[in-house]
């Protein structure tokens, strides 16, 4: 029977959470009364996560496991699961249990009201102050740059209608940010509030560097505003430099030759050099994305699909 619901879960070194996850998730899905499938993507885990997932396929007929040939990242893991999913409603969920599986019916109900993309807003977040503050700043900056109206970009508990998934599957971008990509295809997006819990086992797989990289993908992949802002800043800086030169020229005639202010000028020079390097970095980010696309390398490599029909 074709599933009505598809649950997509990327996994990377989550051996301590998987058994608790399936023990909570499977009863929730049975309670919906709809046929369903649970698709795990093992993103090159180095612990026993893959073996645990393979064991699930022998116990739960609804479970399928996409096995990657290496580590390709969370969003590529989700994209791979999207391509093998069959449900009319597809829901993404993290494996760390910070987003409770019990919230899934809330998202399903919202899709059934006629929405095609349903995001979630984490209530009473159980994260560090640094993580919450950084997330808030990124959310604000991204909304301003992309024009997309999403409250919480970082929450991966989201629901998508099959039409949106089919459009996403046609995109072949080397790197992307799935919630924002889905938003570009949404005609009736919505958001719901969901609970948030502390991570019970393991550590977050997103280091500071990975978070910065992810946010660069988000901002440069869906907007040219950073380039436009830098161009505008360059114009304003040039005008300010001309004004400052005129000021120094007039001051020369009024005050005469002087050597004071040399260090101030050096400070100003270093400031502008720093801004220039930053601008080159932004341009480089866009050029790097173009470079990744023109190579046409596979976004990920699937070694095998376990469970159900045992697709190769």
Report domain extents, the chain. Answer: 5-203+298-306, 225-295
What would the mean pLDDT of 1-22 be, rounded to a whole number? 94
What would the mean pLDDT of 174-187 be, rounded to a whole number? 83
Q: What is the pLDDT of residue 129?
A: 62
180 touches 209 (CB < 8 A): no
Task: Tell me phi and psi for residue 60, to 5 degrees.
Answer: -115, 110
Burial 178-203 (b: 16+ CB within 10 A, else e): bbbbbbebbeebbbbebbbeeeeeee
Categorize the per-residue pLDDT at 196 as very low, low, confident or very high, splitting at 50, 70 and 90. confident
- In Å, what is the CA distance from 234 to each residue of 5, 191, 239, 241, 272? 50, 38, 9, 10, 10
What would the mean pLDDT of 102-113 be, rounded to a whole number? 95
**Nearest Cα residue to 92 out of 18, 8, 165:** 8
Alpha-carbon gap, residue 246 to 156, rounded angstroms:
54
Categorize the per-residue pLDDT at 275 as very low, low, confident or very high, splitting at 50, 70 and 90. confident
Q: What is the pLDDT of residue 312?
A: 42
What would the mean pLDDT of 161-177 be, rounded to a whole number? 88
214 touches 134 (CB < 8 A): no
Indicate whether 204 pLDDT > 90.
no
Out of 160-174, 202-216, 217-231, 265-279, least confident range: 202-216
126 touches 197 (CB < 8 A): yes
Categorize the per-residue pLDDT at 210 as very low, low, confident or very high, splitting at 50, 70 and 90. low
Q: What is the pLDDT of residue 59?
A: 94
Indicate whether 57 pLDDT > 70.
yes
Q: What is the pLDDT of residue 28?
A: 96
CATH topology of domain 5-203+298-306: Spore Coat Polysaccharide Biosynthesis Protein SpsA; Chain A (3.90.550)
Of 12 and 262, more confident: 12
Categorize the per-residue pLDDT at 170 as very low, low, confident or very high, splitting at 50, 70 and 90. very high
H helix intervals, the chain: 18-31, 49-59, 74-84, 104-112, 129-146, 162-170, 178-185, 208-222, 225-255, 262-295
Top mean pLDDT of 98-102, 196-200, 263-267 is at: 98-102
Q: Which residues pair with 195 in a beta bridge?
A: 123
Alpha-carbon gap, residue 21 to 46, rounded angstroms:
19
Average pLDDT, the chain: 82
State whether residue 70 is helix, strand or coil. coil
What would the mean pLDDT of 97-106 be, rounded to a whole number? 92
Residue 177 burial (10 A CB sphere; 0-12, 13-18, 19+):
buried
Indicate whether 145 pLDDT > 70.
no
- Phi/psi-derived region of residue 288, left when phi > 0, alpha when psi is between -120 and 50, beta in every other case: alpha
Residues 6+ apart with CB under 8 A from 144: 225
Identify the DSSP state of 243. H
Alpha-carbon gap, residue 180 to 142, rounded angstroms:
10
Indicate whether 89 pLDDT > 90.
yes
Q: What is the pLDDT of residue 184?
A: 84
Q: Which residues pair with 66 in a beta bridge?
A: 41, 305
Q: What is the pLDDT of residue 144?
A: 62
């Amino acid at each position: 029977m074709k599933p009505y619901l598809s649950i997509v879960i990327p996994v990377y070194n989550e051996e301590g959470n998987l058994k608790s996850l399936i023990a909570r998730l499977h009863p929730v899905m049975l309670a919906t009364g709809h046929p369903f499938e649970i698709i795990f993507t093992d993103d090159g885990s180095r612990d026993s996560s893959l073996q645990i997932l393979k064991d699930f396929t022998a116990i739960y007929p609804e479970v399928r496991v996409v096995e990657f040939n290496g580590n390709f990242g969370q969003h590529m893991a989700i994209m791979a699961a999207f391509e093998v999913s069959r449900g009319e409603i597809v829901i993404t969920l993290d494996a760390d249990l910070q987003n409770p599986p019990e919230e899934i019916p809330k998202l399903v109900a919202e899709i059934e009201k006629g929405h095609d993309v349903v995001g979630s807003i984490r209530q009473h977040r159980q994260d560090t102050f640094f993580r919450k503050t950084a997330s808030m700043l990124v959310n604000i900056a991204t909304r301003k740059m992309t024009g997309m109206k999403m409250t919480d970009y970082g929450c991966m508990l989201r629901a998508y209608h099959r039409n949106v998934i089919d459009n996403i599957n046609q995109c072949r971008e080397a790197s992307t940010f799935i919630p924002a990509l889905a938003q570009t295809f949404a005609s009736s997006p919505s958001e719901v509030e969901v609970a948030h819990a502390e991570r019970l086992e393991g550590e977050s797989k997103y280091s500071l560097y990975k978070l910065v990289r992810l946010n660069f993908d988000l901002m440069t992949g869906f907007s040219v505003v950073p380039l436009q802002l830098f161009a505008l800043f360059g114009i304003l800086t040039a005008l300010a430099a001309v004004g400052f030169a005129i000021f120094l020229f007039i001051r020369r005639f009024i005050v005469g030759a002087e050597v004071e202010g040399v260090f101030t000028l050096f400070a100003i020079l270093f400031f502008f050099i720093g801004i220039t390097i930053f601008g080159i970095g932004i341009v480089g980010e866009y050029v790097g994305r173009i470079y990744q696309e023109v190579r046409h390398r596979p976004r990920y490599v699937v070694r095998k699909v376990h469970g159900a029909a045992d697709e190769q």
